[in-house]
Amino acid sequence: QNSSEMPETITSRDAAPADRTVKRCGWGVRCSARPLSGFVLQIFSQEYINLLLSMYFFVLGILALSHTISPMMNRFFPANFPNKQYQLLFTQGSGESKEEIVNYEFDTKDLVCLALSSVVGVWYLLRKHWIANNLFGLAFSLNGVELLHLNNVSTGCILLGGLFIYDVFWVFGTNVMVTVAKSFEAPIKLVFPQDLLEKGLEADNFAMLGLGDIVIPGIFIALLLRFDISLKKNTHTYFYTSFVAYIFGLGLTIFIMHIFKHAQPALLYLVPACIGFPLLVALAKGEVTEMF
């Protein structure tokens, strides 16, 4: 991703159709998802699907992790580091009809970050270790929050509300979400070893958190940070409130999961927390109108 590209902005027109689709098509998808997934697994064995996903996320994971660690790695390079500039340019046609297909600028520091990320990629590809999986998962999440922007709080509420229904339906209404999360070996989730103290780094009993449960609330929290800055009060009240609300919602998810011994839709607890807590603060400060 070229750093000069503008982030993708999600508007209410983008969010609302998705919500309506969830409501209207829920029963149809519910009836068709199970036989369709079984049909796909009958034609293509799970081993081949996992191999294809591994190669796909191997490439994407290296690029995402390289982009994520680049700002941090700049602190470790000495001032006299020979940093040369490069440009990757692909064009189509010639003369006046010449069109740029790819125009990517990078430097030697980017190449070093790419090499370090490739080491993690090979580790993931060969071992599928949970640490390598989580490094890629975190990189995907951070890139998602960076590249996806909400244009206002109303849009964020529409999007979170729709995905709240979506998450509850797919976890409690069917077993598709849990089955996919457990079946496919891909960094589409963060995994937390529950037997870490017993087996150390070779732990193999995991709790899981989907990347959507990080990115979707994350772009809403990032929006509230921009709202804090727009108030020009030199405080980050709404950002810290929503951040603490996210931690509270995640903790409540884990608590309920251990009590009932059943997978929980994280957005069931995260959405009310991330919307409700900042809204209460806005009511207390009389800034609801400015927020919306």
Map out the domains of the chain as residue ranges.
44-82+99-147, 150-291
Could you report the per-residue pLDDT of 127-180, keeping only the tens digit for each?
889 999 999 999 999 999 999 999 999 999 999 999 999 989 888 888 777 777
Measure the CA–CA gap between 9 and 269, rounded to whole angstroms: 25
Query: Which of the following is catalytic: 19, 110, 213, 228?
Result: 213
Neighbours of 105 (CB within 10 A): 13
The torsion region of residue 87 among left (phi > 0), alpha (psi -120 to 50) and beta comes to beta
pLDDT tens digits, 159-174:
999 999 998 988 888 8
Contact 291, 227 (CB under 8 A): yes
What global pTM score does this model have? Answer: 0.80
Please give the residue that has the higher pLDDT: either 57 or 21. 57
The mean pLDDT value of the chain amounts to 85
Other Cβ atoms less than 10 A from the Cβ of 166: the count is 21
Residue carrying structure tokens 């903790």 = 251
Structure tokens at 120: 């993690």
| 228 noted as active-site residue | no
Candidates 167, 195, 204, 228; catalytic one = 167
User: Residue 131 and residue 123: Cα distance in Å, rounded?
Assistant: 10
Reply yes or no on whether 19 is catalytic: no
User: Quick check: 168 and 21 in contact, CB under 8 A?
Assistant: no
Confidence of residue 201 (pLDDT cuts 50, 70, 90): confident
What are the backbone angles phi and psi of residue 105, rounded to the nearest 5°? -105, 135
